[in-house]
Amino acid sequence: MPKNFRKIGCAECVAGAGLGFDFAMAFQPIVHAPTRRVYAQEALARGPQGEPASHVFKQVNEENRYAFDQACRVKAIQLAAELKVDSFISINFMPNAVYRPELCIRTTIEAADTYGFPTRQIIFEFTEQEYITDMSHVRGIVRHYKERGFLTALDDFGAGYAGLNLLADIDTDIIKLDMALVRGIDQDRRRQAIVRAMMAMCQELSTRVIAEGIETREEYLALQDLGVELFQGYYFARPVFRALAPLPSAAVYER
């Protein structure tokens, strides 16, 4: 735990306390195709004027990683409350930044209480592209979050430092198929076979699957034929800075 570790209040988080830089959030919808409704809005970090995430993450380091993780939670919850989001919101967390999950949860609950957003509508997702230095610690984080009633998700599944081993070790409610796995899947029998097997595995594990990075109608239809129901990507909507994207038209879902 860094020497400058301390609990950060909501007002400080929103103001970017301890970071040395400011940032804001965008939302991108995750849609449930069978009902044509928004299942969740993923909160994505952006620069204060809407600059891309890379502009933000290049300023994150070991000294401000924890403060950044906490600020992301608070800013996402504040914006969701302002926009009256009635679906889940999905907040990325950095597993190597969560030193004591009970303190991080306390910050989340405080933000939800402060801004009037239901905690039952929060999903925490972590990316497997960040190297996990302590697997037992991350396992404990996910278990603690689930015990407190939050849903958990594994982002970028099929890329980064781990795959099936991480799925075996970490019991998340949701996995998100990495866009590299679904790109061009309508033309790729190998990718289709892999996703088909993964869908059967996740059904047995009672794990929901989100396909992310969907850019074409053909990718969407191929994945739907493989049993995927939750989708995210430019085909449906791009991230919108400090706002919500319009709902996809009915034609987007039609075969």
The predicted-structure confidence for 10-51, as pLDDT tens digits, reads as follows 555 555 556 889 999 999 999 999 999 999 999 999 999 999
Q: What are phi and psi of 19, to 5 degrees?
A: -95, -40
Residue 243's SS3 state is: coil
Strands annotated E in 93-150: 122-127
- Give the domain ranges of the chain: 10-245
Q: Considering the entire predicted model, what is its pTM?
A: 0.91
Query: Helix or strand or coil: residue 113?
Result: helix
Amino acid in position 205: L
pLDDT-derived band at 3 (thresholds 50, 70, 90) equals very low
CATH 3.40.350.10 for domain 10-245, yes or no, is no
Task: List, for residues 137-182, the tens digit of each pLDDT value.
Answer: 788 888 989 999 999 999 888 776 557 888 888 899 999 999 989 9
